[in-house]
Amino acid sequence: MSRPLPRPTAETQPFWDGCAAGVVRYQCCQSCGTVQRVPRALCATCQSDALAWRDAGGFGHVLSHTTVHRAPTPAFRGDVPYVIALVDMDEGFRLMVNVAGGTAAPLAIGSRVRIGFHEVEGVSLPHAEVAA
Ligand SMILES: [Zn+2]
């Protein structure tokens, strides 16, 4: 069974293009300066469509994390257990990503992490690495 992979939309395509280039990108409103936690067609604060994409520095802190012991689909059976983290990025947006090193990673709520990238079936996916 093949893995489910991201399906970029018009709102998320710049993010995935950034991943392919090894850069985390985020959406910011040019009218009011709001950093969108989730990419949208309009600003969540002022409803402006004057949105721009910026390159992030690639660092953040773990808001929460969980260990997956039961694969959600047969495609992930070989991966369990694995760790997923919600990361609040320094620029003010949020990512949900796998954690490099899985259960062996020294991860805790508040851990400083760096976003890295790995390729799955030709798609560059972001992951969190615990920063030293
Ligand atoms: Zn705005």
**CATH, residue 31:** 2.40.50
Instruction: Decide if 57 is inside a domain.
Output: yes
- Ligand 1 ion: Cβ-proximal residues, 5 Å cutoff: 29, 31-32, 34, 43, 45-46, 48
Instruction: Decide if 95 is inside a domain.
Output: yes
Instruction: Decide if 26 is inside a domain.
Output: yes
Domain assignment of residue 112, given as a range: 13-130
Instruction: Decide if 2 is inside a domain.
Output: no
* pTM exceeding 0.85: yes
* Ligand 1 center to 36 CA (angstroms): 9
- Cα(27)–Cα(37) distance, integer angstroms: 8
Residue 92 in contact with residue 102, Cβ under 8 Å? no
Instruction: Decide if 1 is inside a domain.
Output: no
Instruction: Decide if 6 is inside a domain.
Output: no
Q: 10 Å Cβ neighbour count for 117?
A: 16
pLDDT for 43 equals 97
For residue 105, pLDDT beyond 90 = no
Instruction: Decide if 59 is inside a domain.
Output: yes
* Ligand 1 center to 44 CA (angstroms): 7
User: Who contacts 132 (Cβ-Cβ below 8 Å, separation ≥6)?
Assistant: none
With pLDDT > 90 as the criterion, what percentage of the chain qualifies? 85
* Ligand 1 center to 81 CA (angstroms): 40
Counted domains in the chain: 1
Of 96, 107, 111, 112, the C-alpha closest to 15 is 96
pLDDT digits 0-9 by tens, 8-46: 999 999 999 999 999 999 999 999 999 998 899 999 999
Instruction: Please state the rounded mean pLDDT for residues 90-118.
Output: 94
